[in-house]
Structure 1
Amino acid sequence: MTSVAAGLAVKYRCLKEPGSGSGYAGWDKSIKCKLGNYRSKLREAGCNEVAVNRKRGRGDDSDPNRFILKKPKRGEVNFIPQHPENYDDSSLEQERCLLVDELKKRGNDMALIRQKMDLTFSLRRKEIMEMQPLVKEVQERWPALFLKEQICAEFMCITTKDLLETFMTALDTYSIQLIKLFRARKGAFNNEINLLQRFDNQMSNIVQHRRTISLEGLPIFVRDTESKLFLTCLDTDPVERSTKGVKVGILAVLEDSNGPASEPTVVNIGIVLEEDIILADLPDLPTACAYLFGLLYGLNIEFPKEHRYTFEAIQHIFMELTPTCSQRVRSLKTKLLV
């Protein structure tokens, strides 16, 4: 099958060259028909990924999902894998129930949880891709997916990349150059001046502060909308007020102190998805940002339009998951590599 496909590709390229003669349209249609027939056979054989990637649904013209095309667009290696051998939907559902029961116990067997999560990976991806459930619904059915260890494991299964190590290594690589870019454009955005002043006032743990300032300034530099990705509130404020209307964000809870003005003390850092705090008690903002990026992949959540270029920069520059990007992110990458 590989040699036949390679031969067709060579003929296809030759026919596209100028002066190759007639027959291009015929070959073009023939190759499309052959590939279409091949995908139909895979769909009939039960290939999950091909079954989901349908250009047209089975409903009538009024069906809003009729022209939805689900396909890997963000560098997913395992978009919708096949079920393990000798397992089907019903048997994997039983394994999922055992996994939920294990999490209800006081002392969790983490080895068993890892084994069950690996086993049910295909069922989980199929549900998320086909049904597109809300985050609350995923929490009810797959509570283990929101454990810190399992967020990294899920990201590894989807992209074959280590989430925390890849993210932190890239952040350390580009943070110094990012701060230089912020200083060069500090006259354009007042917020950048505040960020740089905070960084200049730090006398200890410079590496950690450099990471934080780089991430906080990234949305400003790529000119995302004014809607904030990094939110703050006081520990005396109601959390619901701070998360209302927030689809994707990171919330830092600050200590309410009446003392003299100084650097605020961060009490807690959490990840907000669909107006709910999904993950809390995170050590710092860079770690929270990495887990948020992993959750967006694990839950197949589209990058919000107001933060599109921020996450695209993380995806393309930091994580190196996609070969192409927008002109705005490409410009940033060029400046970072100069």
Structure 2
Amino acid sequence: MQAGMEAECIQELRKVIPELESENFLALVEHLSSELGLTKKADLALLEPDDLQQHLKPILRRRLIQAFRPVVDTDQPIILSTIPDEQTALFPSLDTQLTPTSTPPRTQSHSSRFPSTRPQNAWISQFEIPWNKMPASLLKATLRGQRARPEDRRAWKRTVVSAMQEHCPNPNKAACDEIAKMIVSKYPSTFADMTEEDEQLGVGYYSLAKQLKTRVEHANRNNVSEKIRRPRIMSQTSDDGSTKTVRCKVDSYGCINCQPKCVPEGETSESLEDRRKDIMAIFQSAGPRAVDRPDVDESMRLTYIYQRHMLNSCPPPSISVIEEHWPFLFTKRGLCDHFKALTGIDICDRVGEALQSKGTRIINFFQRQTQNRDIQHLLRDIESNTTAMQQSRTGIAAVLLLMKHFQEQEGSIFLLADATATKRSIETDMTLPSTPRLIMLGNTFLLATKWMVSIEGRVAYVLEEHLGFADALSVFFGCFYVFNIEYQEPACATLELIQRFFMRINPEEGTKCTAKTGVSRKTGAVVKRKAEAINSRVASFLHQLTEFEWKNLD
């Protein structure tokens, strides 16, 4: 496709023959541009049937010729006989009255039907996205279902905002969200927030909406009269300093089977209680290794509804109480099997693959970027520690780099303990927080080779020595879902990136951290947190990673 062919011209062609497959349509455009010399919309009226014989069947050729051939030999614009949906809704009786050279009297009918005072974003219903001004290379990407190149995305963003400002000088966030949603719904493969596995990231239009709003603010940076910011109203806090519990009543965030309704066939509440007691007896006699027994596995599967009933109860039971009733949940296999029933995901396989492939990409990204001194210092440590197990070192390094990038302290996820420490010594000598922590046993985080997980101030999991970091991270992360625990605010960005990028859990209903306040990464002061569909720092990093890999394709 030649760059000289106007995007508006290509759009008009696509409107007339929408059923033509993308590859055939691109071949037609290439033929019209390179062989016939067609460059603008007016040239379409000069086409002859023989010009299209090699690319279109007879009916499509006739349709295309008829669409662009002038009805009369004048300079009047060509008006197609199809009626826009908006006109049909406002003027249903005019459906058969329009001719190719007449237009409905919209102005008078519209003004008489609607009052002069309109809601702030009423203009959106009249807004038409300027598809005809889309760059030719971007249009080609939409037709082929490809991702937009960064430079095309920036140019398109400026074009859309300029069109929006013709209706409203300073569109608000809700307007940007709606316009972004319209764009993404038409070309999701090109504009939507997607993972590399072609799964939608959250609502899908978060990044585009944010970029549109940023462009609006940039365009209005010197236009004081159009600023719509209102004075802040400081919220009042309770005098008793009470805080919200970190355990949720029922957290279905990203789950497919959070609260099952039906008891398994052949079971009753009494039989499930009997199975629970049998499980406890087996644990007391055989210990946690009995989790691999087929009868234990079957009983844990059948009592899943019973387990969720307790885990979702309000007020939530303590971890100690849960362990008394369901001891096998506090083994790696018991937790991971429950996580799979809850989310449909084999967490160990998913985390292991992600840490190895995506972890390497994250390290490569930071190694080839100009970063702050903390990240550079960590990269030097990563390069010098070649004695650690390669797979575990890659995963640990990736997570530590992410925490440095998000300006989150290692202690908000990891705790370092001596390699010889035991469960009892850790609980005695260390102050363990209420939210989950992954305890790393070794001289440094990178050199750790043994792992424990703590919840509510006590060690809940001691992983076997042959297990690696991927297994440890799986147990740590799985606790947030199995036990309905919100992400701790000091580590919310890293945890959400693990969830969306590594685990590929992408619900649309917001984030798993609902804290109203947090500590500013810049000033250290307590600030009010915004409610977001997706953590803005996570979305920004994933966008940077995608652009970096795009620019560095071999």
Letter in 2 for 1:275: G
Structure 1 pair 235–178 and aligned structure 2 pair: CA distance change class (3 A): closer
State the Cα distance separating 1:151 from its structure 2 match. 1.6
Cα-to-partner distance string for 1:154-174 (whole Å, 9 max, x where unaligned): 111011111111111122221
Taking only aligned residues, the RMSD between alpha carbons, in angstroms, comes to 3.2
Decide which of 258, 261, 268 is 2:450's aligned counterpart. Answer: 268
Aligned to 1:130: 313
Gaps of 5+ in 1: 1-13, 23-63, 256-261
Q: Aligned match of 1:245 in 416, 430, 433?
A: 433
Preserved CA contact (<8 Å) 2:385 2:447: no
TM-score normalised by L of structure 2: 0.45
Residue 150 of structure 1: which of 293, 315, 334 is its match?
334
1:177 maps to which of 361, 376, 385: 361
Pair 19,200 (structure 1): closer, same or farther in 2 beyond 3 Å: farther
Q: 1:78 aligns with which of 225, 237, 257?
A: 257
- Displacement of 1:180 in angstroms is 2.8
- Decide which of 520, 526, 542 is 1:333's aligned counterpart: 542
User: Secondary structure at 1:105's aligned position in 2?
Assistant: helix
Q: Deviations over 1:259-297 (max 9, x none)?
A: xxx999646321111111111134333321111111221
Separation of aligned partners in 1, 2:501 and 2:541: 9
Report the counterpart of residue 100 of structure 1 in structure 2: 280
Following the alignment from structure 1 to structure 2, what is the Cα–Cα distance between the partners of residues 19 and 151?
A: 58
| Higher relative contact order, structure no. (Cα contacts within 8 Å, ≥ 6 residues apart) | 1
Whether contact under 8 Å (1:92, 1:123) holds in the other structure is yes
Q: Secondary structure at the match of 2:453?
A: strand
Specify the alignment match of 1:281 in structure 2: 463
1:304 corresponding residue in structure 2: 488
In the alignment, which residue of structure 1 is the partner of 2:294?
A: 111
Residues of 2 paired with 1:70 and 1:143: CA distance? 21
Q: 1:281 to 1:124 in 2, by over 3 A?
A: closer
Contact residue 252 and residue 269 of structure 1 kept, 8 A: yes
Partners of 1:157 and 1:129 in 2: CA distance: 15
* Contact preservation (8 Å) 1:99, 1:113: yes
Q: Are residues 290 and 226 of structure 1, via their aligned partners in 2, closer, same or farther at CA, if it must alter by over 3 Å?
A: closer
The equivalent residue for 1:200 is 383
How many residue pairs align between the two structures? 273
CA contact (8 A) 2:330 2:461 kept: yes
Which structure has the greater CA radius of gyration?
A: 2
* Deviation for aligned residue 1:140: 0.7
SS at match of 1:104: helix
Does residue 219 in structure 1 map to residue 403 in structure 2?
A: yes
Percent of residue pairs bearing the same amino acid type = 21
**Equivalent residue, structure 1, for 2:103:** none
- How far did 1:299 drift? 1.3
Whether the 8 Å CA contact 2:355–2:394 is kept in 1: the answer is no
Residue 324 of structure 2 is matched in structure 1 by 140
Task: Tell me the amino acid that sits aligned with residue 270 of structure 1.
Answer: M
Q: Deviations over 1:86-137 (max 9, x none)?
A: 4343331121111111111237371111011001000111111123211111
Instruction: Identify unmatched segments of 5+ residues in structure 2.
Output: 1-84, 93-112, 114-243, 509-533, 550-554
**In 2, Cα distance between equivalents of 1:184 and 1:222:** 18
Q: For the Cα contact (< 8 Å) 1:174–1:336, is it kept in 2?
A: no
Letter in 1 for 2:437: G
Secondary structure at 2:433's aligned position in 1?
coil
In the superposition, the TM-score normalised over structure 1's length comes to: 0.71
